[in-house]
Amino acid sequence: MIYLDHHATTPVDARVLETMLPFFTERFGNAASKQHRFGWEANDAIERARKQVASLIGAGSKDVVFTSGATEANNLAIKGAAEARRSDGDHLVTVVTEHKAVLDPLKRLESEGWRVTVLPVSSSGLVDLAELDAAITARTVLVSVMAANNEIGVLQPIKEAAALAHSKGAWFHTDAVQAVGKVPFDVDALDVDLVSITAHKIYGPKGAGALYVRRPSTSLRASNRGVKIAAQMDGGGHERGMRSGTLNVPGIAGFGRAAELAQAEMPSEATRVTGLRDRLLEALGATTDGMTVNGTLDARLPGNLNVSFEGIDGEALLVSLDDVAVSSGAACTAAEPSHVLVALGLSKDRARASLRFGIGRTTTAAEVDYAARKVSDVVTRLRAMSPV
């Protein structure tokens, strides 16, 4: 089966697995054990990974807090910032196309009395910076805008959005899960305060993520602004008091190695997968009528393509692609279509008849060509069966 769903997850790179394996067996110590060699080795692995992850995003290693994944990192950033700044305001701002790991924590805060503004996007998938500026008030404590969308791959103007937040005293968080490791991302150049990332989107293991938390800095490229968030998990004061719990040493060691590989290979890999994405789009466009690209192609992840088809039943489309692993905005049995595609202005039927292709490190030109032929054949057959 051909795997073209790299935005959902990625296979663990063999080089990453090699790094992880010793920490399951002979180097199995607890990183918090300070009295013997087993703990020292584990802690050394954690700190090495912390530097590797920090380097990928242009951060200092002390700014990286390890978590169980991006969902926890998003929750820690949003709820932790809100709790820390409760005396400063009561307002939060985000965008309608955010991942549920951002929207749901904000809903929870809204149920607790916070005011939340959810901004629309244009048909391109981009937030309007003028609307964002107008939404931020003196009572806004946090703005959260996703760096790269997990469905349509659109890259938001993070640097400009962060500047708007800071101009009115708000902190800025970005869910950068899909962007980091695939496109250049530098926390100082973007001047962001909180960044959520995870290992399993960059060929690392599931169950390891991180939150960047900006500390006061004297860097010439960065402001001296620092943030201090409230912990959401208590019990031992691990990770500088921001995330208690025994650290996942094998997963974090793998995360570090995955970050190191992504940083080294990003330029060449981005060029390669962009070429494959364009090859797929050209092949589909040449053989399939009534197809629309969802979201702008001008600011997009290298390996992302999201397209919708006119006059097609979405569930039948996915079921018929039996040997090509892709996804739609929503699962084929879901009652509601993708909230991202609906936000772009697609009808519910058109949103359901959409496919997200995620091209990755293991994808070949032959696989792309086969997938294009398969989709074209399926769309043609389904339209021939349709009574409309």
Angle in degrees, CA 333, 338, 340, rounded to 5: 170
Cβ pair 185, 179 in contact under 8 A: yes
pTM of the model: 0.94
Q: Is 356 left (phi over 0), alpha (psi -120 to 50) or beta?
A: beta
13-260 CATH pick, 3.40.50.150, 3.90.190.10, 3.40.640.10, 3.10.580.10: 3.40.640.10
Cβ pair 148, 356 in contact under 8 A: no
Cβ pair 164, 93 in contact under 8 A: no
Provide the residue-wise pLDDT of the chain in tens; the chain has 388 residues. 999 999 999 999 999 999 999 999 999 988 888 899 988 899 999 999 999 999 999 999 999 999 999 999 999 999 999 999 999 999 999 999 999 999 999 999 999 999 999 999 999 999 999 999 999 999 999 999 999 999 999 999 999 999 999 999 999 999 999 999 999 999 999 999 999 999 999 999 999 999 999 987 644 444 567 899 998 888 887 888 789 898 999 999 999 999 999 999 999 999 999 999 999 999 999 999 899 999 999 999 999 999 999 988 888 999 999 999 999 864 434 557 899 999 999 999 899 999 999 999 999 999 999 999 999 999 999 988 876 6
Q: Which amino acid is at 187?
A: V
**What gap in Å lies between CA 307 and CA 284, rounded to an integer?**
10
Torsion over CA: 75, 231, 142, 210 (sign)? negative
For position 244, what pLDDT does the model report?
82
Q: Is 224 left (phi over 0), alpha (psi -120 to 50) or beta?
A: alpha
| Domain spans, the chain | 13-260, 266-372
**What gap in Å lies between CA 101 and CA 118, rounded to an integer?**
14
**What gap in Å lies between CA 103 and CA 316, rounded to an integer?**
29
Pairing of strands 115-119, 91-95: parallel
**What gap in Å lies between CA 7 and CA 47, rounded to an integer?**
28
Per the structure block, which two tokens stand in for 148? 């790269």
Q: Tell me which residues are annotated as active site.
A: 332
- Domain 266-372, CATH class in plain words: alpha beta
